[in-house]
A and B are shown apart, each in its own frame.
Chain A
């Protein structure tokens, strides 16, 4: 890996300092895009989204397929045109439905990495990477040095003379990344770039991507449906649901304080209990389930309806072997246990509330068939209205 000083030399032509005022990397206002399905129904792929991407931030667009994340990314790139709204990149408007402004993709200051790599099979790796530079009319003499420097950065110097079809999936994606960053654009769009490479390479590339982003300081907008990837990479995560942003927050916040049951279910796993609020105190409510289980839940919300759903993260439970079964507290029988990498064990506990998953990180192995009591701190439980 090269040092930051070397990197500076790479872009030595661009030494002018940006004027200090904080122009957001990308500014999106009231963006809408709908499709008409074959059966005539209209789908709002992007439904009135407003979003600021800060400079040098690694923003993740996360959601299941069909949530509009790729549509949003392609709208920023200019490859697809939204129906309405505005998009600015580096403070310059690239799309505005009101003024009929739509800067074509090739004129936007954006680099992009595609899910299927998008490497041109008729060009060598060198020519693939040099292509954006030639489009920018970089002097011929500078091209080899700049190509070699990014190739060095992503670790593909050895294959520059080969054709893309001769490379492994991981190498191909490295080339795609090199091509996207070679012309030193300040905004990089990544469309599920790691979903086609195998797990080991994916972990490695994830770390390298993050390091490159920190070193080069570009703004990244990264689409994925993989929550683990989102957690690992994101400065912030925008969880998308049916064309809208369900929550926009840093990863930890998303996990610990999800804004809705949808976000809680999509990011991480949850055990769920339907119940009714039977007592309200300041900062805490008591929830009773149909089978008579009572759960104290800490919450600052005062607007909760009586019908609620309580959610728990599997790792928040503590298990304790017990003989006596108290209907007021959650207990059950261990149905199955799965050893996971990292000396953790996942238990499936059959309770009066259905199966509950518990992730125990240490402690003694509890044999299958044991009766256990499950405990959880009131502040570790999440609570939402049933209809949220």
Chain B
């Protein structure tokens, strides 16, 4: 008999847990608690909202509905909302598909720049770009108008006092809606095109179809599910968009559902919560039905089998229209980030906004004002950064734990359920979640109105889906063998999670962290509703200052928050590249 066969029974019997297996129950029970808390945080406020809406005093009472029904502005507001969202999403769908096709299939591809197209808006918080456009397109002193007037005047055309561009108009609103919604379409469609086996298209070309015919008869049907979900994502985001309707729509007299809800909860005293809830229900109805349409469409359409990429597709030579195609895409990138950013920098560096960039009035006053000790802009910046860090860290840890807990064998139904629930807020608008939180926690017995706790909770619930998607895809890339090999090496579930799963998930978790940090630090909608002068955050202060016309400081704040987002984002991207360079994907 060999040495191995003569082991002491004590270390061989399963009961003897001299191994680090003692943490099983601790890990599992903490996973359970976290799952239950996450489900409660998401579902609880929504349930309370629905109950309070239908049974305000314990019995069925639909007076809130009749109140909304009687509002004189109801129908025009709904019509305005639908026009802006449908037109904006329609244009975004067309351009998004076009850009995806150009980048994935033609020689006009912008390469690296094209790949960053969908993340471009992330580098700039929605409010910053909207304010950028206010500064660009205001009739008269708008930067674009002063520039255009100067150029036109130089060639001898009088553009008048106002200049040619008025952003506070229907074309302006629809333009900004499409700029904001385009990334949602682009992201999904370009991914689908990238995953589509080029052999399908090559077979069509070899059978005598021209490029356009191939696109219409082979490519489009194959990516139809992606196109539909891109369109629905754009619609859902359109109904949730607040920065543009508030900043551009309100002065232009164009009403909007989301802006109304924020107005009713934040700007009216006492807050018209009952009506806000009814309007929130309408938002849920709109967004919910677009999700249902998407599910049906996906079920009905026959998916082509999307295999791993076998070869890179041959690119179509666009010939003469190559550069025009590129210019359209570059034009988009300029509209989404470059021009607003220039406008913000420009205005933030002028002591007062006259519409001209004047070296004589160049000053850092706005930044000084912004960073002045005990100013509420500095407090807001600090609060937003801290809340962003805390939100991102908590959200990622919670979703990573839930993802692993739901994925582990034997299957945990609570884990799977929690995994699904944490992705639910993506299907709801930020305003709806914020209204639900206000209804549930702002008043007695909790009395959390305007506190950092309520803000944190709001950010957490709103951005859990982004964290959850990052955590799930990070986990999916690891494969079950990694954790199974650890368990078979006598490591407990908790130790397996800490030593094997978490380190391997880290590149995905870090990019998820950055995404959530950037979104939470630059958040506008929830901040507008949940923040207060007691705990100011960036979104809240920017809104406040822009309504009072203090554009210089707003612009400076926009520049600072954009710089922070962009820095954190690029650092994380660089780190991610270094880590994935060290390991090859195949071995995971």
Among B94-102, B241-249, B285-293, B580-588, the stretch that binds chain A is B580-588
Q: How far is the CA of A114 from the CA of B587 in the complex (A)?
A: 13
**B361 neighbours in A (Cβ, 8 Å):** none
Contact A186 B490 (CB under 8 A): no
**B482 neighbours in A (Cβ, 8 Å):** 118, 120
Min distance, Cβ B200 to any Cβ of chain A, angstroms: 25
* Interface residue tally on B, bucketed by range: 35 or more
Known A16-B8, A106-B21, A106-B492; judge A120-B485 contact (CB<8 A): yes
Q: How far is the CA of A12 from the CA of B499 in the complex (A)?
A: 29
**B495 neighbours in A (Cβ, 8 Å):** 135
The 8 A CB mask of A129-140 against B (1 = contact, 0 = none) is 001101111000
Residue on A with the closest CB to B503?
A122
Q: How far is the CA of A78 from the CA of B503 in the complex (A)?
A: 24
The 8 A CB mask of A305-340 against B (1 = contact, 0 = none) is 000000000000000000000000000000000000
The 8 A CB mask of A81-98 against B (1 = contact, 0 = none) is 100000001101010000
The 8 A CB mask of B488-531 against A (1 = contact, 0 = none) is 11111101100110011000000000000000000000000000
**B586 neighbours in A (Cβ, 8 Å):** 165
Q: How far is the CA of A112 from the CA of B304 in the complex (A)?
A: 38
Contact B587 A121 (CB under 8 A): yes
Among A2-10, A197-205, A354-362, the stretch that binds chain B is A2-10
Count of A-B contacts judged by CB separation below 8 Å: 172
Contact B11 A14 (CB under 8 A): yes
Among B12-20, B81-89, B255-263, B388-396, the stretch that binds chain A is B12-20
| B4, B7, B489, B582: the one within 8 Å of A132 (CB) | B489
Q: How far is the CA of A195 from the CA of B587 in the complex (A)?
A: 16
**B2 neighbours in A (Cβ, 8 Å):** 4, 7-8, 215-217
Residues of chain B in range 566-588 having any CB-CB distance to chain A below 8 Å: 582-584, 586-588
Contact A131 B484 (CB under 8 A): no
Q: How far is the CA of A166 from the CA of B11 in the complex (A)?
A: 35
Q: How far is the CA of A108 from the CA of B12 in the complex (A)?
A: 8
Instruction: Check: A163 CB closer than 8 A to any chain B CB.
Output: yes
Instruction: Check: B409 CB closer than 8 A to any chain A CB.
Output: yes
Known A103-B14, A120-B485, A122-B503; judge A218-B20 contact (CB<8 A): no
Instruction: Check: B351 CB closer than 8 A to any chain A CB.
Output: no
Instruction: Check: B66 CB closer than 8 A to any chain A CB.
Output: no
Instruction: Check: A55 CB closer than 8 A to any chain B CB.
Output: yes
Instruction: Check: B107 CB closer than 8 A to any chain A CB.
Output: no
Known A107-B19, A121-B588, A164-B587; judge A7-B3 contact (CB<8 A): yes
Known A106-B492, A114-B485, A131-B491; judge A218-B4 contact (CB<8 A): yes
Min distance, Cβ A128 to any Cβ of chain B, angstroms: 9
Known A92-B14, A109-B13, A179-B489; judge A163-B5 contact (CB<8 A): no
**A111 neighbours in B (Cβ, 8 Å):** 488-489
Contact B584 A121 (CB under 8 A): yes
Q: How far is the CA of A216 from the CA of B160 in the complex (A)?
A: 94
Contact B17 A137 (CB under 8 A): no
Known A11-B7, A81-B410, A135-B495; judge A121-B14 contact (CB<8 A): no
Residues of chain B in range 33-70 having any CB-CB distance to chain A below 8 Å: none
Residue on A with the closest CB to B504?
A122
Instruction: Check: B424 CB closer than 8 A to any chain A CB.
Output: no
**A80 neighbours in B (Cβ, 8 Å):** 409-410
Instruction: Check: B481 CB closer than 8 A to any chain A CB.
Output: yes
Most buried by A among B19, B485, B504: B485
Known A109-B12, A137-B18; judge A18-B5 contact (CB<8 A): yes
Instruction: Check: B479 CB closer than 8 A to any chain A CB.
Output: yes
Instruction: Check: B24 CB closer than 8 A to any chain A CB.
Output: yes
Known A106-B24, A114-B481, A121-B587; judge A18-B14 contact (CB<8 A): no
Min distance, Cβ A135 to any Cβ of chain B, angstroms: 4
Q: How far is the CA of A189 from the CA of B484 in the complex (A)?
A: 13
**A78 neighbours in B (Cβ, 8 Å):** 487
Q: How far is the CA of A110 from the CA of B588 in the complex (A)?
A: 23
Contact B488 A186 (CB under 8 A): no
Contact B3 A112 (CB under 8 A): no
Q: How far is the CA of A16 from the CA of B495 in the complex (A)?
A: 30
Residue on B with the closest CB to A214?
B2
**B1 neighbours in A (Cβ, 8 Å):** 17-18, 217
Contact B485 A112 (CB under 8 A): yes
Most buried by B among A10, A122, A134: A122
Most buried by B among A14, A55, A112, A135: A135
Min distance, Cβ B531 to any Cβ of chain A, angstroms: 40
9 contacts between A and B (CB under 8 A): A16-B8, A104-B24, A114-B485, A118-B482, A118-B485, A132-B491, A136-B11, A165-B583, A184-B4
6 A-B pairs closest in CB distance:
A118-B485, A217-B2, A132-B489, A112-B488, A118-B481, A11-B3
